[in-house]
Amino acid sequence: MKTFHPIRGKSVYIIFQSKGLGDTLAWFPYVEQFRVENKCNVKVFLPRQEMIPLLKPNYPDIEFLLEEKYIQHFDKDGLCFKLPMSADGIISYKIGCSWDGRQYIPLQQSATDTLGLSFKEKKPNLHFKNYGRPMKEKYVCIGVHSNGPQLKYWNYPKGWDYVVRYLNHKGYKVLDIDLNEDQSKDGYTNKLPKGVIKSQGKSLDERISELIHCEFFIGLGSGLSWLAWAVNKWVIMIHGMTEPWFEFQHKCIHVHNSEVCNGCWHRDETLNLKGDWNVCPDYKGTEREFECSKEIDPPMVFSAIDKIIDDIRDKKRV
């Protein structure tokens, strides 16, 4: 007698509720795991539609839904996802809801918990064009900007300038792959460090090609770090707002200072990363504002750089 399985063979809609590059990369591998384990037809909606060409060729059994067909704007900020009323479409899952408790578990686990899967760190399988090396010299990619508030930046004064000089001293060119050159806002100066080779305004496809040819990547707790992780590059992640356990672990050195105020993302359910640019839940407007990253000094990053250089050197000797 066959065991009844309510989802097997049916169409299941999985809806991502974030446009974040990191969120999309973090959650997507479990869409395929869900499809395979449940033997169902998965239809996925990604608000970041530019990711579809990077994923669709390697996931031919997943249907990617287009915004113009499934999204309706019903007020200034609201979006309505239109589900067809048919017996085939039996169930839908939303990943990334503000009430799903994702602040208290690893980012990727918020997807597995929603979908009822066991959690193990997984990377997406990206499809991209290799444009070749952007330069013949050895180089390191960096990303100094974030789409979030100032809280997500590395706020040590001129910290990136010191890092670029250190990398140059070690014999590396430094390629900055941020989308924009200047993201200064509300009195805070956020410009590219001195001495970098600028590479702004590129497509994600071109970004991936730059990453696969670099030695390693240094960035924040942001989408570019997740993109470097997805293509199996060593990542140095400088962050204070989130705890290291929240981000990915494979081939990553977390530069984090647990001796000062840190991890407010996990303590404050009201923290709004889309509100005030200078939000700092505990010390806004005081000398301790943003101390979670201000107290990460350049030698801490230098140490991480040396560890990765040693690892790369040791692997070449084998």
The residue with tokens 């390191």 is 140
CB 218 within 8 A of CB 298: no
* CA torsion through residues 57, 60, 62, 67, sign: positive
Q: Which of 23, 205, 306, 310 is catalytic?
A: 23
Residues 120-145 as b/e (b if ≥16 CB within 10 A, e otherwise) read eebbbebebeeeeebeeeebbbbbbb
Residues 166 and 239: their CA atoms lie apart, in Å, by 20
Kindly give the interhelix angle for 298-317 and 159-169, rounded to the nearest 10 degrees: 30
Residues 32 and 44: their CA atoms lie apart, in Å, by 10
Q: Note if 23 is an active site residue.
A: yes
Residues 227 and 207: their CA atoms lie apart, in Å, by 9
Residues 112 and 300: their CA atoms lie apart, in Å, by 33
* CA torsion through residues 21, 24, 26, 32, sign: negative
Catalytic residues: 23
